[in-house]
Structure 1
């Protein structure tokens, strides 16, 4: 076995047992031929039929359309790989998680043989909620400070005008 074969074997074993990365092998028709444990476990509602099912069953339709366009573009230019963000259906089958993927088309002569896809989650819902809450609190603080500053600035100006009018007296 040459060093490249050993590297590929080691990489494939690492991807299969990864607890962070998703790894999926697709055929030219986007049918799942193989998926690592992490991807299979997170899609437990389809894990019995995961292999042999279509990739579009696990991602949003708009994202799958975008994927198809990027794949066509990649194939026409014979690019080594392409990146994209996909919304993967979450465990409950209702919500979704944002994931970032890199797709590696493998060619046999001039035709696509298979596609290796490697991805990971880029934002969990709880992190997103926390960020939104923090931004909302900062925005409220800013609005309160701005309102306080403006009301006091305005009051000071009006008080100055009233003071000048009193000094001038009624007859002027």
Structure 2
């Protein structure tokens, strides 16, 4: 990811109440940050007392940050991950956060970090600025972006036909630190499932034609190096347009929704199971019950002992109770199907 791309990404983080950003020099001095990172607003006045790492995060986490930074630098990585306990002002409470820090200078040390909470936040606390369509409800955003599910960032240059992802997302797709260093960057296009690429491309075109007023948001599948499928949702926006009003640079983030998709798949399978069960109950089991009741009616016409009549009456009663239970079960299955179809918008065949 280029330095200019990182600067744009940092600005996007500033507009989000979910993401946070901070730039630290080699000694841990805060060079810039969003307004929620420290006890005073961002773009700090240098005449005042400067902020340091320990003013924003638990001081004992510095060693963890320093070790990860040194390891990443020695391995020629573009970025590194670290979990930090952020100090919330003015109450001083600690918030667990996860960060990806990017090296932004040729010399060892200065890093730009993009972070997000590890603990769930209330729906109304989570906003992604222009990433999120105005039509999305806070609850939908809350359901989409949960703890530990932000996979990484992506960017795209339509003119140069270039695209790339952050090293964290590349590692999720199965690339080692050596792979990333050797290739000099991993593209996201090559990992989009072939069946989903055209829809994603169509959504990007609609975003461009609306001059950015229509946000980009698309659920699709990523394919890892090991051919594993990961369902994700991508949010994005055009951060730079050329003089002709054409998109020049697009950036966004990718969130893991794999577990939600697994649940949706299970619900669909359960839905089809209920439909098949209702069919079997209605057309097979009740037909057999009707045959039994017909045979019982014939038996009742025959001469029988008192004991035989009593047994036939018991069989007839139990058979009618079974038929009633089947009808009740079929009705419940049909009602569950209707609820499922109304919630998912699916249409029964």
TM-score calculated relative to the size of structure 2: 0.37
Query: 1:88 Cα deviation (Å)?
Result: 0.4
- State yes or no: 1:83 paired with 2:217: yes
What is aligned with 2:163?
A: 32
Equivalence for 1:159: 296
When the two structures are aligned, how many residues end up with a matched partner? 160
Describe the SS at the equivalent of 1:44.
coil
**Could you tell me whether the CA contact under 8 Å between 1:99 and 1:121 is conserved in 2?**
yes
Q: Which residue pairs with 1:60 in the alignment? A: 193
Deviations 1:18-43 (A, max 9, x none): 54213212222452345152x12202
Is the 1:40–1:50 contact (alpha carbons within 8 Å) kept by the matching residues of 2?
no
Confirm or deny: 8 A CA contact 2:192 2:221 kept in the other structure: yes
Q: C-alpha displacement at 1:156, in angstroms?
A: 1.3
Alpha-carbon distance in structure 2 between the residues aligned to 1:102 and 1:58: 17
Task: From the two aligned structures, give the one with the greater helix fraction.
Answer: 1
Q: Classify 1:139/1:31 alpha carbon distance in 2 versus 1 (closer, same or farther; 3 Å).
A: same
Alpha-carbon offset, residue 165 of structure 1: 5.2
Higher relative contact order, structure no. (Cα contacts within 8 Å, ≥ 6 residues apart):
1
1:103–1:116: 8 Å Cα contact kept in structure 2? yes
In the alignment, the residues of structure 1 paired with residue 167 and residue 265 of structure 2 have an alpha-carbon distance, to the nearest angstrom, of: 30
> Which of 226, 232, 250 is the matching residue for 1:115?
250
Q: Distance in 1 between matches of 2:217 and 2:165?
A: 20
Contact 1:30–1:55, Cα closer than 8 Å, also in 2:
no
Could you say which residue in structure 1 is the equivalent of 2:149? Answer: 20
Q: TM-score, normalised by structure 1?
A: 0.66
Equivalent residues of 1:97, 1:124 under 8 A apart: no
Separation in 2, partners of 1:73, 1:130: 28
